[in-house]
Structure 1
Amino acid sequence: MAETKDHQRAGHVVLFPFMAQGHLAPFRCLAALLRRCRPDARVTVVATSSTAESIRASLAADGIGVHALASGTSAGSIGSSQQLIDLFLAAESLRPAFHRFVADLRRSDPGVSVHVVADMFLASTTSDVAPDDPGVTRSVLLTTGGYGAALYFSLWDSVPLVPDDDECFRPRCFPDVRVHRSQLTDHLAAADGGDTWSTFIRRQIAAFSRADALLVNTAEKLEPKGLSMLRQWLNNVPIFPVGPLLRTAMPEETTGNSPSRSPILEWLDKQPPGSVLYVSFGSHYTISTRQTTELALGLEKSGHRFVWVIRPADDVNGGEQSLGLPEGFVERMEAAGRGLVACCWAPQVEVLAHEATGAFLTHCGWNSAQESLASGVPMIGWPLSAEQFYNAKTMAEDMGVCVELARGVAATVARDEVAGAVETVLGETSSVRAAMRRKAAEAKKVIEAAREADGHESSVEVMRRFIDSMEELHASQK
C-alpha cells in the first residue's frame, strides 16, 4: 500500500547534486526517501556525463532515473581550497544544459509539475530555471546540518570578518555566537567580499532567499538550535528537516554472516564491546606527516584499541612508506593485537554499528557525524575545513557527544593530547565517558525515530509535507 494519499498526476522531482561523494551520498538517500513516501512520483537525478553511469547503477533498483547533462565537469580530486572553488565554478557551467533539460520536461508533458531540488552549491545555477513557468518549483538541499549551515553561510554573509581582542568573530545575523580564528578556513578568514570565494558563496546565499523551500539533512529534535538559527536567518523560506539522509548498516555485515565480509569487521569481532576507537578523516581529507606521527604515537601511548583507516599524508608522494607512520608502529600494534591500520576503503556505517566500536576520531563531516550518532557512538573531533568546525562546535557544546582534539590542517597536535582525548572517551575511569555515551544514545533514539515511517517529525512525513506544499504552490499559480 502506498504511504501517501492518491494524486491524479504526481509531480516530477528533479534532483541536482554536486558531484562529490559527500554530496552525492545524501542525494541518493533523498531519492530513496522520495520513492518511499511518494511511489507515484517520477524521480530523476541529474549528473555529469562522467558520473552518470555509476549513479545510474546505484539507483536502478529503486526505479530512479538518471539524466546526464550534455556538458559538464567531474568531481575530480578535492584538495586545496583553490581546487575546490574551481570545481564549484565549473559546476556552474552546467546551467544552460540543465535549463534546457527542465524546459524539455515541461514541453513533453505540460500537465505534470516539475520540482527541482538542487545542492546548496548549485543553488544559483537552478534558482532562475523556467522563471515564468508556474509549473516549476525550485528548492535547495543543505547536505550539512542546520547549525553548521547557519554558521558557515552567515559568516560568509558577514565578510570581511573583523576580529575582537580575543581573535573571535561574530556573524552579523547571530551576534551572540562567537567563532574563533582557529575555526575558520584560510579563504574565509582572508575573504574581503570581492574575492572569488565570497562572490560564489554569496550567489548561493541569494538563491537560498529566493527558493520555494530549503531542505536540511537533519532532524528537528536532533538539531533544534541549528534549525531555529536557519529559520531566523531565512525567515521567508519554508524549511523542511528531511534527515538524517543516511544509509542503513547491513545486518549480515555487522553479524558476521557475509562471505565477502570486510577484514576490518572480522578484526572487530575479536575485540571487547565498546573498546575500539575508529579513526578516519573521510574520503577527501588527509593530515601531514608530522600530525600522522603524533597521532600514531598518541594512539600507542593511550593503550586503547583502535582501527585506523589511513590515506597517504598530504605532504609526501606515493609509495608504501608515504603514510607518515613511525617506524615499526604497524608491526608493534598488530603484534600486540591492539591496533589495525587499513589502507583501503572501509564499510564505515557497519564499523560504527559494530558492538566493539566505542568512539570515533573524525574530521566532523556531517555525513560521518550523523553515521556515528545513528549508532550511538561518541566522537573525538578534529575538524579540517568548511562547516566541520561548526559541526564539532555544536556536538561538543550543545549535544555533549564530542570532545575536540584539534582544529584545522595546520594544527599542532602532541601525542600526549591524543592519548588524553582517547582516554576521555574510552577510559573506564573517565568521568566524561558515561555522559557522552548516554547523550550519544539519546541522539541515536532521535535518529531512529526520524527514520521511522510514521510520526509528525519522521523524515517520511516531512518529505511528504514538502512535496504536498510544492504541489499546492503549483496549483495556486495556475
Structure 2
Amino acid sequence: MAPETDHHGRADHVVLFPFMAQGHLSPFRCLAALVRRCRPDARVTFVATSGTADSIRAHLEDEGISVHALPFRPADASQQLIDLFLASESLRPAFHQFIVDLRRSDPHTDVHVVADMFLAWTADVARGDPGVTHSVLLTTGGYASAIYFSLWNSVPLVRKDDDDECFRLPSFPGISVHRSQITNHLAAADGGDAWSTFIRRQIAAFSRADALLVNTAEKLEPKGLSMLRQWLNNVPMFPVGPLLRAASSSSLEETTSSSPVLAWLDKQPPGSVLYVSFGSLYTISTSQTTELAMGLEKSGHKFVWVVQPATDVNGSESRSSGLPDGFAQRMEAAGRGLVVRCWAPQVEILAHPATGGFLTHCGWNSAQESLACGVPMVGWSLSAEQFYNAKLLVEEMGVCVELARGAAAAVTRDEVAEAVERVLGETSRVRAAMRRKAAKMKEVIDAATDGDGEESSLGVTRRFLDAMARTSSCSRS
C-alpha cells in the first residue's frame, strides 16, 4: 500500500451519513470499510436515524465503526417518498449539534463529513469551521446521476417538438430521454412543487461541497463521469466505487446448507438459470406478476424468482402475490424454477455458475452486482434513475435487453418469453455478444475492487482522504 499523507500531526474522524433506505445504506457500509482500510487509525462514525441504528450497529461495530443515532420521528406517517425526503431535513439541528460536540471534544481532529446525495443540506452544517470538510456521495452511477439531476434542474421539461415524446436536456443536448423514461412526478413538475424544490436544494448543495464521490469506477463509466465533470466542473470528483459486497466466502457445504436456493442451483447446468428480482422496495402489479409468471413458463428456461407482495391497480398492497394458482408448486415439481418469498442471497445467486441472466429493476446496486459477476440482464426499470441505468446498460454497455419501462407497463407473456430467450437461448444471436461484454465489465470491476492502483476503489478513496486533509490544512492556514 502506498504511504499515507502527512497530516501534520492531526487525526481524522470520518463521519458517514446515508439516507435511511437499504439501497443507500449498503454503499455507505462498503465506503466505511474502504475508509477503515485507508486510515486504520482514523475514527469512523456512521450516522443513522433511531429506526435504523440498531440494525446498522450489528453490521459495523465488530469492524470498529461507531454508530450515532439521531432522533427521527416524522410527524407525517405517509409512505410517500417525498414526505420522507422533506422530513429528513428536520435532522439538521441534531446533526449540527453532533458535529459541534465532536469538534469541542477533540479540537485537534479534522472531521470529514460524507453525506448522502439526498442529505446534501449537510453542506451548510460544515461551513464556518475550518476543521470540517463536507462531501456528497452519489449512491447511483455517473451516467444516471447526470441525466436524473439534469432533468430535475430543467423542469418544467420541454419536448423537442410538439409531436415528439422525447425531452431536451440543456446540459447534455446529445442525449435523448423518452417520456416513458420519466416518472410521472418529474414529468408534471413545474419547479414550484415539493419534488422540484427539494431536489434542486440538493443540486445546489453539490456545488458547495468540497468533493463529490460517485459509486462507480473510472473505466466502468467514462462517459457518465465525463458528463458529471462537465456539469459540476468546479467540484473535485472521486469515483470510489463500485461499492459492492463480495459474495460469501463460506465453504460450499455451509453455503448450500444455509440456502436451499443455492443448493438447487448446484444441480443446474452452467448459465441456464434466470434470476428474477425487483429489489426490496419495488413491486409490480398483480396482473403484471401473472404475465411474468406465464412468460417465464412459456420461455422453457429455468428461473429463481424472488417475489414481493404484489400491488393492486391503486398501488396498494394486494393480498394475492399475483402468481397463478399452483404456479410455484408446478414449477418446482417439474424442476423448472423456484419461487422465493421476499428475500434471497442475491450476490451469491448472481455469482453462481448456473446463473446466466438477471431480470432486474435496474437499481444501481443490483446492476453493479450483476456486472461484477459477468451476468447479462433483462431490464424492467420502475422508477427514478433506474430508467437511465437501463439506458446505460442497453445503449452504452450492451449487456442488457430491455423488457419494459415503468410500473404501469403493459407487459405480455410473449414479450417476457422473447426477452428471456434472447438472454438465455442457445440459438440467440445476442446471447454470446452480451456475455462477452458483461465479462469485460466484470474485469473492470475486479480491477477496481481487488486492486490497489490509483484508479481502484481503495486508491481513489485514499486520494479523496488525502485531498480532504489538505483542504482542512489550507483552511486553517
User: Could you state the TM-score of these two structures normalised by the residue count of structure 2?
Assistant: 0.96
- Taking only aligned residues, the RMSD between alpha carbons, in angstroms, comes to 1.8
Corresponding position of 2:17: 16
Match runs of 1:295-314 below 5 Å: 295-314=292-311
Corresponding position of 1:159: 155
1 CA distance for matches of 2:308 and 2:475? 52
Corresponding position of 1:135: 131
- Answer with 263-272 or 244-253: which moved more: 244-253
Given residue 17 of structure 1, which amino acid in structure 2 is its aligned partner?
P
2 CA distance for matches of 1:137 and 1:75? 32
Secondary structure class of the residue paired with 1:456: coil
Given residue 404 of structure 1, which amino acid in structure 2 is its aligned partner?
E
Given residue 213 of structure 1, which amino acid in structure 2 is its aligned partner?
A
Listed as ranges, the gaps of 5+ residues in structure 1 are none
Corresponding position of 1:234: 232
Corresponding position of 1:87: 84
Maintained 8 Å contact 1:3/1:36: no
Secondary structure class of the residue paired with 1:411: coil
Given residue 151 of structure 2, which amino acid in structure 1 is its aligned partner?
L
1 CA distance for matches of 2:247 and 2:450? 15
Corresponding position of 2:197: 199
Corresponding position of 1:414: 412
1:98 to 95, 119, 134: 95
2 CA distance for matches of 1:217 and 1:411? 29
Change in Cα spacing, 1:334 to 1:258, as seen in structure 2 (3 Å) is closer
The answer to whether 1:376 aligns with 2:385 is: no
The answer to whether 1:50 aligns with 2:51 is: yes
Maintained 8 Å contact 2:257/2:263: no
Match runs of 1:103-252 below 5 Å: 103-124=100-121, 126-163=122-159, 164=161, 165-252=163-250
2 CA distance for matches of 1:381 and 1:391? 9
Listed as ranges, the gaps of 5+ residues in structure 2 are none
Identity across matched positions, percent: 75
Change in Cα spacing, 1:358 to 1:392, as seen in structure 2 (3 Å) is same
- Answer with 111-120 or 160-169: which moved more: 160-169
Change in Cα spacing, 1:220 to 1:251, as seen in structure 2 (3 Å) is same
Maintained 8 Å contact 1:48/1:73: no
2 CA distance for matches of 1:338 and 1:363? 23
Corresponding position of 1:353: 351
Corresponding position of 1:283: 280
Maintained 8 Å contact 2:398/2:434: yes
Q: Once the two structures are superposed, what CA deviation does each residue of 1:224-266 show, in whole Å capped at 9, x if it has no partner?
A: 000000000000000100001010001326x343475211111
TM-superposed CA distance for 1:419, in Å, is: 0.4
1 CA distance for matches of 2:383 and 2:77? 18
User: Could you state the TM-score of these two structures normalised by the residue count of structure 1?
Assistant: 0.95
Change in Cα spacing, 1:449 to 1:76, as seen in structure 2 (3 Å) is farther
Corresponding position of 1:441: 439
Maintained 8 Å contact 1:2/1:39: no
Aligned residues: 471
Change in Cα spacing, 1:77 to 1:392, as seen in structure 2 (3 Å) is farther
Given residue 34 of structure 1, which amino acid in structure 2 is its aligned partner?
V
Given residue 25 of structure 1, which amino acid in structure 2 is its aligned partner?
S
Change in Cα spacing, 1:390 to 1:214, as seen in structure 2 (3 Å) is same
2 CA distance for matches of 1:196 and 1:45? 28
TM-superposed CA distance for 1:10, in Å, is: 2.5
